Amino acid sequence: MIYFDVHTHKYSYQKNVIVILFSLSRGDEHFCSIGIHPWDVNITSAEQIPLIDTMAYKSKVLAIGEIGLDKVCLADFQLQKEYFSKQLEIAQKHNKPIIIHCVKAYEEILFLLKDFKFPVIMHGFNRGYEMAKQLIGKDFYLSFGKVLFDEKSKTIDAFEKAPLDRIFLETDESELDIKNIYERAAEIKKVELNVIIEKIECNFRKVFNGYK
């Protein structure tokens, strides 16, 4: 059995865990995603765009991300949109899926993605079913993490109703083991753990062409 962690900031040495590490420096060693996080966007970000473009050729770079928009952070929002668009161009150029960070900016994200042709994963999804339904209706994937352990979260309902062929699981920056998140996902979905494992592997192989 293989567990897939679609977005994390920490490498896992467990033999049956495959992770996509958010890192600009590990593209030769481990599967990773690369990009400028919206929190980190500033006037010097222009220097990183050529680096991301160059690294995107590497076979271990499975996605561009996490990229996106965040209306709560201090980074200038117009600058965020500018660099989000630049990174979408890189993803299109290299036929890469994207991993999205979105905080209070779904309308802007959806507008900027209207012509994007490759898979989109909304990382750390923590909204309710109506937003989930809207995103899934646009063929997006939703990635869930520690929020699944919050019994009071409206996201539990969204996860329960989301089709299995549109979900991923992740640890992000939490201390949780991805296996525990899988177990919780199976509990919420009221299915055997193997069902979650097999379906997410199927989703992973479908979305990430660089995975062998």
Look up residue 38 and give its two tokens.
Answer: 């919206």
- Supply the pLDDT for residue 28: 61
- The answer to whether residue 38 scores a pLDDT higher than 90 is yes
- The answer to whether residue 119 scores a pLDDT higher than 60 is yes
> Per residue in 68-118, pLDDT tens?
999 999 999 999 999 999 999 999 999 999 999 999 999 999 999 999 999
Give residue 104's Cα distance to chain centre. 17
**Whole-angstrom distance, CA of residue 97 vs CA of residue 102:** 16
pLDDT bracket for residue 25 (50, 70, 90): low
What is the rounded average pLDDT of the residues 35-44? 92
Contacts 24+ apart (CB under 8 A), 195-200: 195/164, 196/164, 196/169, 197/1, 197/2, 197/3, 199/164, 199/165, 199/167, 200/4, 200/167, 200/168, 200/169
**Whole-angstrom distance, CA of residue 15 vs CA of residue 124:** 24
Q: What percentage of the chain exceeds 70 in pLDDT?
A: 97
> Per residue in 147-180, pLDDT tens?
999 999 999 999 999 999 999 999 998 989 999 9
Residue found under tokens 């050729």? 57
- Supply the pLDDT for residue 206: 96
Specify the CATH number for 3-207; select among 3.40.1360.10, 1.10.10.10, 3.20.20.150, 3.20.20.140: 3.20.20.140
Round the CA-based radius of gyration of the chain to a whole number and report it. Answer: 16
Residues 6 or more apart whose CB falls under 8 angstroms from that of 73 comprise 38, 39, 103
Least confident among 11-25, 138-152, 189-203: 11-25
- The answer to whether residue 142 scores a pLDDT higher than 90 is yes
Cβ atoms of 142 and 165 within 8 Å: the answer is no
- Supply the pLDDT for residue 150: 97
